[in-house]
Structure 1
């Protein structure tokens, strides 16, 4: 009997040791997944003097500070869908059809956050009304807008002219489909519009592309989106794609279809996003004046280049695994809704519990 007990004790000790090792490995891996690159060490350029120079920003700041107790700590999600036909995006999803986008929309029926939707389609308005009917009415705002009334779409003739230049880089749809470029710029116009028109009552705001959560459309559970770990509230959060190269010219970025951050989602405080979206729209104007244009991802890369003649007033914070599939990484960090280190520890906890049951 004693020998059996010794063997059992050794087995238990061995299992606990293995479990502890696995737990520590998961903790290390979780930390590596949140590793930041040198870019995130940059000091925020956002200063108090900005309130003085911008009356609209001052109003936003005063609203956020004077009404701090009544402001929800949640994240308001903003999204939009404009039907511009089938897009030749390539990759594992091939062509992006309106039918695919409608399927991807289903995830918004499970996101337990305040949601603001813009569309030019009565069909899409009805789809979102049906998707969100189990949430309290105040959790969802849907606006049907005329495409021609938006600044972003007013740029279509200019963008088409730029894309039509002989020898201009050919990346379908980025530098081929002028309305696709317009949709990308509309993100920033609409976020700015929501902030200026005070259509939110939360501490944070995030843009979310319709297709970001395409990989989980078959899930059933409701989930909230929260701020990511180690979020710097003086910056705008993005998924990082590559290490920032400060030596590139605007044409090199467009011709090489280069990407620094993934444009599917960005998050920040309203004051920060107000300034950021203003600067983005100014950068679009400057690039068009230089006969250059592509999508938001290239514009962002260009506007943060030291040589570009418009320097953004706020910094970007990147979240990345330094892997090859980080396009939607920030979104899934927010979706997890619990600390990533605890999530990484769960397999180890289940491993050890299996020996106790």
Structure 2
């Protein structure tokens, strides 16, 4: 089976101060540390401070020589015209209030939407510069949220290999349909679990272009959104480039495609999922509350 090169990125966008959605940079580093023992070549786009932490973590697992850091001093200078378009769209209160959950980060935060938009950009950049070849995966820096789904960190001590078809592989919580994009934006329906995306190196160039076109289509209509909506837009534009894998959780993709040994959450996790569901419900964030209640129900069933 083919070894997969992994690309990830992290930039501090001020999330520590977001009510209900607060996460510090240190928490993200801890999330990363949970899966960072994976033996694949890892390319990380980040700032100087986080770069030092990443190298330290990978060195602890004797994987420093399989790690390449690309330091970005100003992430907003990478695609300034796109960032400006996102800011313009979200400067309009009507665009924010159009959303079913206007307090969610993707409804109002330009930085959040911009950095999630950059996922294929980073992988395409790694390919163009010769850092990555063959089959390449995007994996979120905070993948698995420190054991939210796959519960044992030591099980990530393996070389991820899998024989993917020569397509762009997306993992879907819901199968794509023909719901109009403005309705996807309004209802905040999330089809794609974008924590992992996989494609042959050359297709990441196409994927990044489709992402850019999708974001600009949105902003020209007065909206902006995160990678989940951009992914479904890209898929609809060129469905022949994609292969969709159904999944039942945001962080289960790796287990389904080469990480079968990873242990899923069961009774160790379902009580925490119920707690999260109650928290979101009390905050009036009913969409996330329902997602967490569904997760709680699945985990409790598995624990029996």
What TM-score range do you get, normalising by the shorter chain?
A: 0.7 to 0.9
User: After superposition, where does 1:89-108 map in structure 2 within 5 Å?
Assistant: 95-108=22-35
Residue 320 (str. 1) matches residue 258 (str. 2): no
Q: Distance in 1 between matches of 2:110 and 2:76?
A: 16
Residue 277 (str. 1) matches residue 208 (str. 2): yes
Residues 300-357 of structure 1: per-residue CA shift (max 9 Å, x gap)? 223444xxxxx22753222224x4xx212212324626699xxxxxxxxxxxxxxxxx
- Aligned-residue Cα RMSD (Å) equals 2.7
User: After superposition, where does 1:139-288 map in structure 2 within 5 Å?
Assistant: 139-148=66-75, 150-152=77-79, 154-168=81-95, 169=99, 170-201=102-133, 203-213=134-144, 214-215=146-147, 216=150, 219-221=153-155, 222-227=157-162, 231-233=164-166, 235-246=167-178, 248-288=179-219
TM-score normalised by L of structure 2: 0.74
Residues 266-305 of structure 1: per-residue CA shift (max 9 Å, x gap)? 0011122222222222222222222221001112223444
TM-score normalised by L of structure 1: 0.64
Q: Distance in 2 between matches of 1:339 and 1:101?
A: 21
Change in CA separation of 1:156 and 1:187 when aligned onto 2, cut-off 3 Å: same
Change in CA separation of 1:171 and 1:317 when aligned onto 2, cut-off 3 Å: farther
Change in CA separation of 1:84 and 1:339 when aligned onto 2, cut-off 3 Å: closer
Q: Distance in 1 between matches of 2:218 and 2:52?
A: 37
Residue among 2, 5, 14 paired with 1:85: 14
For residue 217 of structure 1, report the CA deviation from its aligned partner: 7.0
Give the total of aligned pairs. 252
1:263 match: secondary structure: coil
1:175 match: secondary structure: helix
Q: Distance in 1 between matches of 2:23 and 2:258?
A: 24
Greater relative contact order (Cα < 8 A, sep 6+): 1
1:156 match: secondary structure: helix
Change in CA separation of 1:101 and 1:260 when aligned onto 2, cut-off 3 Å: same
Residue among 105, 116, 133 paired with 2:43: 116
| Rg comparison, structure with higher value | 1
Change in CA separation of 1:211 and 1:140 when aligned onto 2, cut-off 3 Å: same
Residues 208-250 of structure 1: per-residue CA shift (max 9 Å, x gap)? 001213215762351222226xx322x211221112221x222
1:207 match: secondary structure: strand
Q: What residue ranges of structure 2 are gaps of 5+ in the alignment?
A: 264-304
Q: Distance in 2 between matches of 1:334 and 1:232?
A: 12
Structure 1 equivalent of residue 278 of structure 2: none
Q: Distance in 1 between matches of 2:34 and 2:240?
A: 31
Change in CA separation of 1:331 and 1:258 when aligned onto 2, cut-off 3 Å: same
Q: Distance in 2 between matches of 1:155 and 1:278?
A: 12
Residues 148-180 of structure 1: per-residue CA shift (max 9 Å, x gap)? 564345533321221122422225200211000
Change in CA separation of 1:140 and 1:195 when aligned onto 2, cut-off 3 Å: same
Contact 1:104 1:217 in 2 (8 A): no
Contact 2:162 2:257 in 1 (8 A): yes
Q: What residue ranges of structure 1 are gaps of 5+ in the alignment?
A: 1-71, 306-310, 341-357
Contact 1:86 1:96 in 2 (8 A): yes
